[in-house]
């Protein structure tokens, strides 16, 4: 069994980005600049945004964190986004989701300039991805594609079962894997909460991508020998033995499934760390122009 080491791979990618930034600076040009907008004080969101800002510093990007109070109005947030859209010193920015309930998330995503939408959530970028045009691929699916490529996992003609159909993971994942591209050309089945007899599908899969958010959902009896297993799930499970009072658990029963798999991502240390590296990659793309 080969561990798909997202921690190491993401460190490699960050190093490559840092090298590019050094080159840019050597040429006397300004460094790429990523901004993040955080509304409210959601614990997980604060952790994610903090990690993104730290990663910017590591690769030599400029970063700006805009923290807004929980009761920020939708109008005020849209004004902030407009300012970022018009700021020539900001190459890309993200609005950390989820947003407080009184703000329409879709409206916010729509207001981001697609050329600065490094999360790849704007309909223009989702459309470009669907058509196979150059775009910002949202960071989690982008990270999984990068892992498959770097570990040279054959995907052409393989049967992939993607569990989960969300806009940020399952859906783009299924599109990317079916396209004519590196780590593509697969036959893809997308499964979701209404899928019947999921086990009979996953048992046929050469590659399973579990992105549903149910801890240890994918068990050893559901996968065939030598399958490639990508675990996207991140769920905080209460655990008194941990200092934080919880542990992070994936969607795969890692212990049992790793005995059958040819390749598997651990949680933590698999898909998670890749996400931030790919966000940085998207911001470098925004700096250089995706055209």
Per CB under 6 A, does 13 bind ligand NAD?
A: no
- Determine which residue in the list 177, 232, 261, 279 makes contact with ligand NAD, applying CB under 6 A: 232
45, 87, 115, 166: which one binds ligand NAD (CB under 6 A): 166
Say if residues 239 and 205 touch (Cβ distance below 8 Å): no
Buried b (16+ CB within 10 A) or exposed e, 270-291: bbbbbbbbbbbbbbbbbbeebe
Q: Nearer Cβ to ligand NAD, position 7 or 192?
A: 192
What value, to the nearest 5°, has the Cα angle with vertex 113 and ends 132 and 147? 40
Question: Is 141 near ligand NAD (CB under 6 A)?
Answer: no
Q: Show the binding pattern over residues 253-282: x = contacts ligand NAD (CB under 6 A), - = does not.
A: ------------------xx--x-------
Active site residue 96: yes
Residue from 195, 204, 226, 288 binding ligand NAD (CB under 6 A): 195
Which residue, 61 or 121, is less far from ligand NAD as judged by CB?
121
Nearer Cβ to ligand NAD (155/174): 174
169 binds ligand NAD, rule: CB under 6 A: yes
Angle at 51 between CA 47 and CA 57, to 5 degrees: 150
Task: Catalytic residue, from 52, 80, 116, 117: name it.
Answer: 52
Cα–Cα distance for residue pair 137/120, rounded to 1 Å: 5
* Position among 20, 235, 258, 262 found at the interface with ligand NAD (CB under 6 A): 235
Q: At what angle do helices 123-131 and 170-178 cross, to 10 degrees?
A: 30
- Please give the size of the binding site for ligand NAD, defined by CB under 6 A: 24
Distances (CA, A) of 53 to 7, 75, 128, 146: 17, 25, 27, 22
Q: For residues 215 and 229, what is the distance between their CA atoms, to the nearest angstrom?
A: 15
Give yes or no for residue 173 binding ligand NAD (CB under 6 A).
no
Nearest Cα to 119, choosing from 287, 291, 283, 284? 283
Residues in the site for ligand NAD, rule: CB under 6 A?
140, 163-166, 168-170, 191-193, 195, 198, 211-214, 232-235, 271-272, 275
Residues designated catalytic: 52, 96, 119
């Amino acid at each position: 069994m080969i561990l798909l080491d997202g921690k190491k791979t993401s460190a490699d990618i960050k190093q490559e980005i840092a090298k590019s930034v050094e080159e840019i600076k050597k040429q006397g040009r300004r460094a790429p600049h990523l901004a993040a907008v955080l509304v409210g004080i959601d614990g997980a969101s604060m952790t994610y945004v903090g990690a993104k800002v730290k990663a910017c510093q590591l690769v030599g990007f400029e970063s700006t964190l805009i923290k807004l109070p929980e009761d920020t109005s939708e109008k005020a947030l849209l004004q902030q986004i407009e300012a970022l859209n018009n700021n020539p010193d900001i190459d890309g920015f993200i609005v950390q989701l989820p947003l407080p309930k009184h703000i329409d998330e879709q409206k916010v995503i729509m207001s981001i300039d697609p050329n600065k939408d490094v999360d790849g959530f704007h309909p223009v970028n989702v459309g470009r991805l669907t058509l196979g045009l150059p775009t910002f691929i949202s960071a989690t699916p982008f990270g999984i594609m990068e892992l498959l490529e770097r570990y040279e996992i054959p995907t052409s003609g393989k049967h992939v079962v993607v569990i989960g159909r969300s806009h940020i993971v399952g859906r783009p994942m299924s599109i990317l894997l079916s396209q004519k591209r590196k780590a593509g050309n697969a036959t893809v089945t997308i499964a979701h909460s209404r899928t019947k007899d999921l086990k009979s599908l996953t048992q046929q899969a050469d590659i399973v991508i579990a992105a549903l958010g149910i801890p240890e959902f994918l068990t050893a009896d559901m996968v065939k020998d030598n399958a490639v297993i990508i675990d996207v799930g991140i769920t905080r499970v209460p655990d008194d033995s941990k200092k934080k009072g919880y542990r992070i658990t994936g969607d795969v029963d890692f212990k049992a499934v790793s005995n059958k798999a040819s390749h598997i991502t651990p949680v933590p240390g698999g898909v998670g760390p890749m996400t931030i590296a790919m966000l940085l990659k998207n911001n470098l793309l925004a700096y250089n122009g995706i055209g």
